[in-house]
Structure 1
Amino acid sequence: MSNPNQVAIIQKDITDDVNKSLTRLQEDGLVLPPNYNASNALKSAFFKLQEVKDRNSKPALEVCTKASVANALLDMVTQGLSPAKTQCYFIVYGDQLQLNRSYFGTQAVLKRLTNVKDIWANVIFEGDVFDYEIDGGREKLLKHETNFLNRDKEILGAYAVVKTEDDEEILTVMTRKEIEASWSQAKTKNVQNKFPQEMAKRTVINRAAKAFINTSDDSDLLVDAINRSTENEYENERKEVNPEYEAQKEIKQNANQEIIDIKKTEPLKKQPEIIDAPKEQQMTKQPQNEEIHQEDLFETTPNGPTW
């Protein structure tokens, strides 16, 4: 956005309303991480947003509705995520801004659940020795032996381990075919092809997380935000294969999603946006394969991309 004053006005406007909505959520039972500073996270997010562009190289703050920007930021702070720590990133789809979690972000969010002590994932390479069993109806890791040189070989699969507060280790295993099937439905295909190892870990962690997220005793507000960020990757494809998807999504959103009431100021677009309309009414049909800029997803270090 070329006008710094307009950016400042939009930033203050949206930040104020996100903070008000966050206060209401906290009054309803949402608990943020002890060391999480929502204000700093919002400032970091707006700094990143000024670098985010759509597939036509137009700035996100110009093409996205205020409603989608505000709701993406609200989901970010609800989950206790920070762009400065590369825990999340923003992607433009049409006139909608969506929040996606990184591998680090998914780990951080899961550790917030009351019964999760730790979570980690590993990739199984050709040449590795991997063995597991079914014990009491659950998968249990028996052995994973690998070699440094195997990291340059073909990926055979990946697994995640969730360690509960009772020190129980729950295993989730995915073959390469299962991982690629998941990738085929996602909107970040080119990223998965460039960074298959880390994206394989992220995919298996997302699968492992489902049972814990939806059966936890944690705030529904947190669970809703986690699920929305996960579903963002697959939303467009679900529309294509399920004609009833929009109706189902509207019912769910009207029942659960916090609606941010943003004061009317100079709009991001020429036409005023309706902030409290359901998100799907503001969306336009998008091509299935969106261009994603690598710089919006990862921080580059001398040792490579940071997840």
Structure 2
Amino acid sequence: MSDKLLVIHNNLEKLLDSKREAMPTNFNKTRFLQNCMTVLQDTSGIAECSPVSVARTMLKGAFLGLDFFNKECYAIIYKGQVEFQTDYKGEVKLAKKYSTKPVKEIYAKLVRAGDDFSEEIISGNQTINFKPLPFNNGEIVGAFAVVIFQDGTMHYDTMSTEEIEKIKVNFSRKSNKTGEYSKAWVVTPGEMYKKTVLRRLCKTIDLDFDTIEQQQAFEDAGDVDFNQEVKPQQNSPLNPNPVIIEAEFTEVTTESEGDPVEAEQE
């Protein structure tokens, strides 16, 4: 393990220990650390990032019980900055786990030119019909998300490509801060379309997270911010105020031989 990765490992381990009460039930610290280091070894640009910022980013995945190695979430690096994002399947996992109303199935689909898609209201009940063309690689015209609860009821949401693009332009956190879009929008736009409509559907589902750390990590993981109102900053280690984190741990460094130095507790 390189000196940089060792610094990240030691900082992340200390954070996990200091916040163990905020971790999900059955959280396996050893496996999580191993998986994080495996992923970071193959992550380009990691040397340009602050070890503390990387450790804080990985901590968000721990709070939510998501696995970076299984690609349920990502640490995305761009121009020396690291950001946390959930994958589509990570969003599905969280919705199933934290919905107060038991979920039987939840998913999102892309609708392409040539697919058969319709919405209907039958006897007062909303329903959708979707019959995609086999192996359709046509232009994406929209996306929809569906949640089916164990009691048989369902919710769904639909968004046209034009609507998703407008939301990306106006409400993308990355765009609002830098004038650019996150790498995911460029490399995997279809997955971001599905994640966007699924995230908006989740606004209609009562998700009850166990801790404030989980709630904020979930909010941070969404590239699109559907909450337009300004909310007061909450006392959580995920807030951008470094005083909160620094009050709990000091960045771990390495000696010239690569041996870790004990962090001082304040």
- The TM tier, using the shorter chain, reads 0.7 to 0.9
- In structure 1, the residue matched to 2:162 is 177
Give the partner amino acid of 1:223. Q
Change (3 A) 1:234 1:163: closer
Q: Is the 8 A contact 1:18 1:73 kept in 2?
A: no
Encode CA deviations 1:8-47: one digit per residue, 9 max, x unaligned: 6414421321221331325xxxx33x5x533212221122
Look up the match of 1:263: 250
Residue 81 in structure 1 maps to residue 66 in structure 2: yes
Query: SS at 1:148's partner residue?
Result: coil
Against the structure 1 CA distance between its residues 116 and 176, is the aligned structure 2 distance closer, same or farther, given a 3 Å change threshold?
farther
Contact 1:22 1:74 in 2 (8 A): no
Deviations 1:41-96 (A, max 9, x none): 22211222233234xxxxx2x33233322221111011111122111111225554
Partner of 1:208: 201
Once residues 11 and 186 of structure 1 are traced to their aligned partners in structure 2, the CA distance between those partners, rounded to angstroms, is: 26
Query: What pairs with 1:1-307 in structure 2 (closer than 5 Å)?
Result: 4=1, 6-7=3-4, 9-26=6-23, 31-32=24-25, 34=26, 36-54=27-45, 60=46, 62-93=47-78, 95-114=80-99, 115-117=101-103, 118-133=105-120, 140-148=126-134, 151-184=136-169, 185=172, 187=174, 188=181, 191-212=184-205, 215-219=206-210, 220-230=212-222, 233=223, 251-252=232-233, 254-257=234-237, 259-260=244-245, 261-266=248-253
Structure 1 gaps of 5+ residues are 55-59, 268-307
- Contact 1:110-1:116 within 8 A present in 2 as well: no
Greater relative contact order (Cα < 8 A, sep 6+): 1
Name the aligned partner's letter for residue 24 of structure 1.
E
Change (3 A) 1:209 1:175: same
TM-score, L = length of structure 1: 0.65
* Change in 2 beyond 3 A, CA 1:18/1:163: farther
The CA deviation string for residues 224-270 of structure 1, in whole angstroms up to 9 with x for no partner, is 2111111xx358xx9xxx9xx9xx68x42x53345443334328xxx
Q: How many residues align?
A: 238
Q: Which amino acid aligns with 1:229?
A: A
Sort the Cα spacing of 1:199 and 1:95 in 2 relative to 1 into closer, same or farther, 3 A.
closer
Q: For 1:90, what is the secondary structure of its paired residue?
A: strand
Amino acid at match of 2:216: D
2:134 partner letter: F
Structure 2 counterpart SS, 1:72: helix
- Assess if the C-alpha contact under 8 Å between 1:158 and 1:174 holds in 2: yes
Distance apart, 1:116 and its partner CA: 4.5
SS in structure 1 at match of 2:252: coil
Structure 2's unaligned 5+ residue stretches are 175-180, 239-243, 255-266
Select the structure that is richer in helix.
1
Alignment RMSD: 3.4
TM-score, normalization by structure 2: 0.74
Aligned residue type for 2:202:
A
Please say if residues 13 and 262 of structure 1, whose CA atoms lie closer than 8 Å, have aligned partners that are also in contact: no
